[in-house]
Amino acid sequence: MTNPRRIACWICCGLLCGVVLAGCGQSRAEPQARSEPLAARPKTPLKSAESWPRWRGPGGQGIAGPTRLPEAWPDEDVAPFWRAELGTGWSSPVVAQGKVVITDRQEKQERTLAFEADTGKLLWERSHSVDFNPHEVGLRHGNGPKSTPLIDHGRVYSLGIAGWLECLDLKSGEVLWQINLPERFGTHQRLPGGRAYVNGVENVIVPIGAGEGAPVPLFGYTGSPTLFEDLLVLSVGGERGGTIMAFRAATGEVAWQALDENVSYSSPIVASVAGRPQVVVMTGPHVVGIDPHDGRVLWRHPFQIQYDESIGTPVAAGNFVIVTATGRPLTALRITAAGDACNATVAWENDDLTSYLSSMVIYDGHVYGMNDGGEFACISLTEGKTVWIDGNHGYYCTPVLADSRLLGLNERGDLLVVAASPAGYRELGQSRLADDATWTSPAVTGSRIYIRSKQGLRAFDLGR
């Protein structure tokens, strides 16, 4: 059997449903989420260029744009200037055009919500019916959405736990297009009783209408979508789909599909590797580089994890792609051009920064992150040698790089600030941001930090 602790943690990463379609796309006239302003106004207005529009920030690799965070971290704990109650789910907040967008689940409704960034006022709520529960060992973290939304060109892209993909207007929440992934790309089968059920340790069969169901991953869709030019790229799978697929961002039309193997629980990134743009993604059995223009596989490297448990998001720089997973060391793949394709070879491995859940950051020739023992580490990108390793900060932390500082929010609600420098491990500050569980990565924009905890969404302003 699968290790219960691992799977229970696994579904927290980070990323709508095989549904009874009658409830899909209904916008509530009176939004039911509650937000609470805790101060008259934030210290510093949010600038239009300051955004965190997708999972792991503007470039999808955990690096914030220039911030206005204080040089000296405050000694006292920081209080939020607004907060909002949410239902179940572990998607991270995203921020753009003065709005904060997040997803959750309230009973049998899965929701996408938009809040005014300055005040926490709920601007709109879009909901639809959902029928999904994960394998019992995953219920510790609920049955809500894990995939983080993406904002681009005035549109919000949202992927639910059981495969409901939709594009919404950022200003109004109006549905622009939507796709039920299991209904469209999965294997249809009779659904006894008309309700979702866990199919052993293989998958979950969810309703798609007319007494039929289709499979979704055992713990749902958790990987977050990414964007290349006008293409929305995400893990899909299914008998009639590809492991990785690209959709026209404006219309939802399928642009390409790649591979025919199990999806993982990781998120794809788009990066320039070996001098060419690539979609880099962990599937169930591989790490893969794909041409984002047409879906052609450029390279693949075996990286099979038991139960296809790859979770952390890859990072890339130059010719290197960095990955890790449960029971596997931090692994650097060297990608080199080979005509119309590429070769992938293992450049180095390092056991000091192995992680089951957490993702890493590459900065100034070094890889930074936290291992499963709660230690932060700095590893040389080119040689794979441990430069330093220290600390004891919990089990999960996917850090954000902000102005040469690592901001690491652990599962206990503590935000640790560490210097991103090979000179040595140096703590610059620490703040208690929540008193409950925080299995997400923060959004950092200007002088603000937005986090999601078990109790809801919180906005902090450290304006200087």
pLDDT per residue over 357-392, tens digit each?
A: 999 999 999 999 999 999 999 999 999 999 999 999
Asked whether the predicted pLDDT for residue 25 surpasses 50, the reply is: no
pLDDT per residue over 66-104, tens digit each?
A: 999 999 999 888 999 999 999 999 999 999 999 999 999
Q: What is the pLDDT of residue 184?
A: 97
Q: What is the pLDDT of residue 348?
A: 98
Which is more confident, 285 or 455? 285
pLDDT tier at 57, thresholds 50, 70, 90: very high
- CA nearest neighbour of 344 among 329, 322, 315, 374: 322
Question: Please, which residues have CB within 8 angstroms of residue 450's CB and are 6 or more apart in sequence?
Answer: 52, 93, 95, 100, 442, 443, 444, 457, 458, 459, 460
- d(C-alpha 247, C-alpha 94), whole Å: 21
Question: Please, which residues have CB within 8 angstroms of residue 190's CB and are 6 or more apart in sequence?
Answer: 211, 212, 213
pLDDT per residue over 106-130, tens digit each?
A: 999 999 999 999 999 999 999 999 9
Q: What is the pLDDT of residue 8?
A: 40
386 DSSP β-pair partners: 379
**Kind and range of the H or E element at 150?**
strand 150-152
- d(C-alpha 52, C-alpha 94), whole Å: 5
Q: What is the pLDDT of residue 32?
A: 59
Q: What is the pLDDT of residue 40?
A: 56
Asked whether the predicted pLDDT for residue 22 surpasses 60, the reply is: no
Question: Please, which residues have CB within 8 angstroms of residue 200's CB and are 6 or more apart in sequence?
Answer: none
Q: What is the pLDDT of residue 419?
A: 98
- Give percent of the chain with pLDDT exceeding 70: 92
- d(C-alpha 77, C-alpha 462), whole Å: 11
pLDDT per residue over 212-254, tens digit each?
A: 999 999 999 999 999 999 999 999 999 999 999 999 999 999 9
Asked whether the predicted pLDDT for residue 26 surpasses 80, the reply is: no
Q: What is the pLDDT of residue 464?
A: 57
- d(C-alpha 272, C-alpha 325), whole Å: 23
pLDDT tier at 9, thresholds 50, 70, 90: very low
Q: What is the pLDDT of residue 308?
A: 87
Q: What is the pLDDT of residue 15?
A: 36
- The CA–CA distances, whole Å, from 422 to 121, 363, 418, 426 equal 42, 10, 11, 10
Asked whether the predicted pLDDT for residue 312 surpasses 50, the reply is: yes
Q: What is the pLDDT of residue 76?
A: 85
Asked whether the predicted pLDDT for residue 41 surpasses 90, the reply is: no
- d(C-alpha 310, C-alpha 359), whole Å: 11
pLDDT per residue over 149-193, tens digit each?
A: 999 999 999 999 999 999 999 999 999 999 999 999 999 999 988
